[in-house]
Structure 1
């Protein structure tokens, strides 16, 4: 079922309202996401950066502390309102990922984490990212690996309801092909996903939590990564 942007916005308003009411500010693996940005090492002070799907804006805030001119967008007004109160010094705006309001070639780097899998129109989003990026600019992203995510969520939920919120999961080959279609070269960066966020999700799955802590997933093939972290360059 293809949801309209308005239907998606309502769904994520409900999701963020529930998360923030319970005291949960992050819906992604913030610790590992920030490590990925450090590891790719393409961000410099004075760069113009955009994070799409920024949630409450924590990554935007961290990048602004490094001297970047960083802006964040999210489809959820609840998340943006909360973020503006928490981080009044950064610019956060309500916008869908498929329709960005910025002029052509406005940014040196675009960032997104746990976004692509939620989009119905991934091609429309990547077209917009290419448009707002300057020549040679980077799109740095992290998204769940199609097969690992589908298996885990099916076991965890005992149904296929994850397909509603994750309509666009990719394998690494599919993601590389999607980037190439829109004029990006792409290299993947393997990251060890273990963090407090990951272990929190695995509580109640004793053997799996034990295994994840003892196996360095970053050493496994791309097809077995829990998430796909990509540095895609506009060519």
Structure 2
């Protein structure tokens, strides 16, 4: 298929170059003009909720037209569509994930045993944490928690698609959405935190009491760490045990 020309798209947003790429225009013997947009451009457009056709090789971003000018216009229209988003919702949410791992037996009175062979626990049943855990899938027992505030922005495009964007690392000094939430700022300032593996990330609308709940959760885990991290060697454990001490009291 003969190449007619190479065209260039440059779109600026404010002071920055937001979109720049080149594409080849080809023409068939029947006079049909076509192009396939670069793969990175096609991916970017699809992430924005813009549907694209495929060429015969299965590559997204295929466009054709009966005239050269109409093809150029169709490419520009798609780029215009990419920039046509309208902010329809903006709010602060907290994204969180909590993973617990444990396996034990619990009877009807709430007594805990390590397994079902403990005969006093009649009618007992196995209890797991938030993920399945059994003999063929053993795990250490523990609790992992993740919580982080985000600004959630929903954008509506001309084609009716809605794209949601989550912005983290909120600038407390300049973002007026933050107002004066003390607990929210505390969560926003947490460092080196990410979701645990195999734990679904959920979200909840921000209120200061909700933020305070997660602050207390994180502080409780940190308090447990403070109580045990310096007493994990055999000598310390033996000293605490033989003095009838309790590590988490």
| TM score, norm. by length of structure 2 | 0.21
| Larger-gyration structure (1/2) | 2
Which has the larger helix fraction? 1
Higher strand share: 2
